Chain A
Amino acid sequence: MTNPNKYRLRRTMMFLNCQKPGLIKDPYIYKPDSIMLDLEDAVAEREKDAARFSLYHALQEIDYRGVERVVRINGLDTDLWREDVRCAVAGGCDSIRIPKTETADDVRTVEYAIEEAEREFSRPAGSVLIMAALESARGVINAMSICDSSERLFGIALSGGDYSRDLQISISGTGVEFMGARQHMIIAARAAKIQCFDTVWTNLDDMEGFRKEVEVIHSMGFDGKSIINPRQIPVVHEIYTPKEKDIIFAEKVIREIDDKKAKGIGVFTVDGKMIDIAFYDGAKRTIALAKASGIYKGDL
Chain B
Amino acid sequence: MEIKKTAVAGTLESSDCMVTIEPSAKGLELDLESAVIRQYGKRIAEVAMETLGRLGVENARVSIVDKGALDCTIKARVECAVMRSAEYEGRIGWGGVIK
Asked if B9 and A83 sit within 8 Å, CB to CB, the answer is no
Q: Which residues of A contact B71 (CB under 8 A)?
A: 61
A59 nearest in chain B by CB position: B72
Which chain A residues numbered 113 to 127 have a C-beta less than 8 Å away from chain B? 121
Q: Which residues of B contact A149 (CB under 8 A)?
A: none
Is A221 in contact with chain B by the CB < 8 A criterion?
Answer: no
Which chain B residues numbered 44 to 99 have a C-beta less than 8 Å away from chain A? 69-73, 75-77, 79-80, 83-84, 91-92, 94-95, 98-99
B70 nearest in chain A by CB position: A25
B69 nearest in chain A by CB position: A21
Q: Which residues of A contact B13 (CB under 8 A)?
A: 20-22
Asked if B15 and A56 sit within 8 Å, CB to CB, the answer is no
Which chain A residues numbered 7 to 44 have a C-beta less than 8 Å away from chain B? 20-22, 25
Known pairs A25-B15, A60-B72; A53 contacts B77 (CB<8 A): yes
Asked if B94 and A90 sit within 8 Å, CB to CB, the answer is yes
User: CA–CA, A196 to B11, complex, Å?
Assistant: 37
Asked if B84 and A49 sit within 8 Å, CB to CB, the answer is yes
- Which of A22, A53, A91, A121 has most B Cβ within 10 Å? A53
Chain B contact surface mostly: mixed
Q: Which residues of B contact A53 (CB under 8 A)?
A: 75-77, 79-80, 98
Is A72 in contact with chain B by the CB < 8 A criterion?
Answer: no
Partner of B95, one of A21, A22, A90: A90
B79 nearest in chain A by CB position: A53
Asked if B72 and A61 sit within 8 Å, CB to CB, the answer is yes
Q: Which residues of A contact B94 (CB under 8 A)?
A: 56, 86-87, 90-91, 121
Is A62 in contact with chain B by the CB < 8 A criterion?
Answer: yes
User: CA–CA, A87 to B99, complex, Å?
Assistant: 11
Known pairs A56-B94, A121-B94, A121-B95; A22 contacts B77 (CB<8 A): no
A19 nearest in chain B by CB position: B11
Q: Which residues of A contact B39 (CB under 8 A)?
A: none
Is A146 in contact with chain B by the CB < 8 A criterion?
Answer: no
Partner of A57, one of B16, B72, B84, B91: B72
Q: Which residues of B contact A216 (CB under 8 A)?
A: none
Interface string of A55-77 (1 = CB under 8 A from B): 01110111000000000000000
User: CA–CA, A283 to B84, complex, Å?
Assistant: 55
**A52 nearest CB across to chain B (Å):** 7
Q: Which residues of A contact B99 (CB under 8 A)?
A: 60
Is A207 in contact with chain B by the CB < 8 A criterion?
Answer: no
Q: Which residues of B contact A50 (CB under 8 A)?
A: 9-10, 76-77, 80
Q: Which residues of B contact A49 (CB under 8 A)?
A: 80, 83-84
User: CA–CA, A58 to B69, complex, Å?
Assistant: 12
Q: Which residues of B contact A21 (CB under 8 A)?
A: 13, 15-16, 69-70, 73, 76
Given A22-B15, A22-B16, output 16 extra A-B contacts at Cβ < 8 Å.
A20-B13, A21-B15, A21-B16, A21-B76, A25-B70, A53-B79, A53-B98, A54-B72, A56-B94, A56-B98, A57-B76, A61-B72, A62-B70, A87-B94, A90-B94, A91-B94
10 contacts between A and B (CB under 8 A): A21-B15, A22-B13, A22-B16, A49-B80, A53-B79, A56-B76, A57-B72, A57-B75, A60-B99, A83-B91
Q: Which 8 A-B pairs have the closest CB atoms?
A: A90-B94, A57-B72, A22-B15, A53-B76, A61-B72, A21-B73, A54-B76, A50-B80
Chain B: residues with CB nearer than 8 A to chain A? 9-10, 13-16, 69-73, 75-77, 79-80, 83-84, 91-92, 94-95, 98-99
